[in-house]
Amino acid sequence: MFGAEPGGKLPVTIGDDYEFGHGLSYESDDSGAIENLQPAEDLSLQAGESVKISFDSEPGMDASFALRAPLFNPLSAPTEMPMTEVENGHYVGYWTATNNLSVAGAEIEVIIADEFGNVERDIAEGRLFINQ
């Protein structure tokens, strides 16, 4: 075989940076494709108040977010909410607290996917304290 090692394995070398399918860039320093994820600090929301969720990434991605908390996602509620690319590579979404929900420390997870199905997820540093 063409340069095969014993056992039939071919040596493969990948450089420090590698790009998959013209979409998400995966780098050796684990910086990921999601940057400047907000909110970066904990927020308290009362019914009717909204939180702005935003991040920067590659332009042209499908972006959404979800709130993660125990017993928060009833079957009738959507688990992921869409985000909009408001500027080239800058994504924004909003969520408004309701009066029938009380959560301490909900996580905000953002999800992006490129046209090839590559998916990247990240969780904001800031947590939500809803009707507390």
Per-residue model confidence as pLDDT tens digits over 50-100: 999 999 999 999 999 999 886 655 555 557 999 999 999 999 999 999 998
pLDDT, position 70 = 66
In a domain, 24, yes or no: no
Residue 122 lies in a domain: yes
Quote the strand ranges of the chain, DSSP E. 17-19, 25-27, 35-38, 43-45, 50-56, 62-68, 81-82, 84-87, 90-96, 103-113, 119-123, 128-130
pLDDT given for residue 33 in this prediction: 87
Domain count for the chain: 1
CATH of the domain at 81: 2.60.40.10
- Domain enclosing residue 52, as ranges: 33-130
Per-residue confidence (pLDDT) for residue 101, from 0 to 100: 85
Residue 111: which of 57, 43, 31, 47 has the closest Cα? 57
Q: Is the residue at 22 inside a domain?
A: no
